[in-house]
Structures are given as C-alpha cells and as structure tokens.
Amino acid sequence: MRDAVTSLIKNYDLAGRYFDRNAIDSLKSYFDSGTVRVQAAAAINSNAAALVKQAGLKLYEELPELIRPGGNSYTTRRYAACLRDLDYYLRYATYALVAGNTNVLDERVLQGLRETYNSLGVPIGPTVRGIQILKDLIKEQVAAAGVVNTAFVDEPFDHITRELSEIDI
C-alpha cells in the first residue's frame, strides 16, 4: 500500500530524477491537506455504522425491487452482505482518503471484484449507486464536522465506481 508521498518518490526514483517543481508542489499540496484528511477520517470513523446503514436504507428506498422476493438483497443474509460490502468500501475509501492515493483500492478492493460480482450474479449498477449514496452522506458528515471544501472526498469513491463500472470491450 502506498500513499501520495511514497508513490511520488517511487515514480521519480524509477526515472532516476530529482524532484522538480511539480513534485514539490504535489508534496506541498498533500501535506497542506493533511489536517482536513484526518479530520474527514475522524468524522467517518465516529459514525461509520450509521453511515452504512443510512446508505443501505436510501439505496433500498430508490431500488425497492432489490429487497423484494427474487431481488438480489432478498433474505436477511443477502441484505447483510450488501451492508457488509458497503462497510468494506467505506473502510478502504477512508484509507485512500488519508493516504491521498487510490492505490490501496486497486490492491485490496478492486482487483477481480467486477468479475467476482458477475460470477455471483451481484448486479453492479445498484452496487455503484450504493457507493455514490455513501459518498454523498460522507460529504455531508465531513461538512458537518467543519470541513469547508469536501471535494477531496470524491476521489476514492469515484475511483471505486469508475473501476467497478468499467466495461471491457
């Protein structure tokens, strides 16, 4: 797992280059945003279970067919698995948020996930929608914690949804 700093160092090391102005600016931006990243993580951690539960409720309100007989979240076991997955996405997105890098998502979450979901018959569209709902709720939570600009929260959640939604042709 890498963060923004180790990724930057690795890239410059592989190229055999000293840091240039872009690298220094990137490091400065990462360190300047460190406090709000940690503040956002604290806001998420203090209310993670409620955020996941609320995201699930909103998802099923929007897509009630998922919890009806024959729906993918019909039965307590399947419903619980959906919430478990949302919690999993939230935890790893929080790691990526603090790291300022989505590498952990690629390594620990996304490798083979789409194929696994397809093989199990888990619909990707509702999964993506659930992640988007979760992102919106987190942005509200982070804003309520006093973070003025919550745009940085988008990156890990958008990365998950983009990679999960991608279709190979």
Tens-digit pLDDT profile for residues 65-98? 999 999 999 999 999 999 999 999 999 999 999 9
Sequence-distant (≥ 6) Cβ neighbours of residue 100 within 8 angstroms = 3, 4, 30, 33, 37
Cα first-last separation, the chain: 29
Q: How does residue 118 score in pLDDT terms, banded at 50, 70 and 90?
A: confident
Q: Is 11 annotated as a binding residue?
A: no
Q: Is 82 annotated as a binding residue?
A: yes
**pTM for this prediction:** 0.88
For the domain spanning 33-162, the CATH number is 1.10.490.20
Looking at every residue in the chain, the average pLDDT score rounds to: 93
Helices 154-165 and 113-120 meet at what angle, rounded to 10?
50
User: Tell me: the pLDDT tens digits for 24-69?
Assistant: 999 999 999 999 999 999 999 999 999 999 999 999 999 999 999 9
pLDDT of 169 reads 38
Q: Is 77 annotated as a binding residue?
A: yes
Query: 34-43, 104-113, 160-169: lowest mean pLDDT where?
Result: 160-169
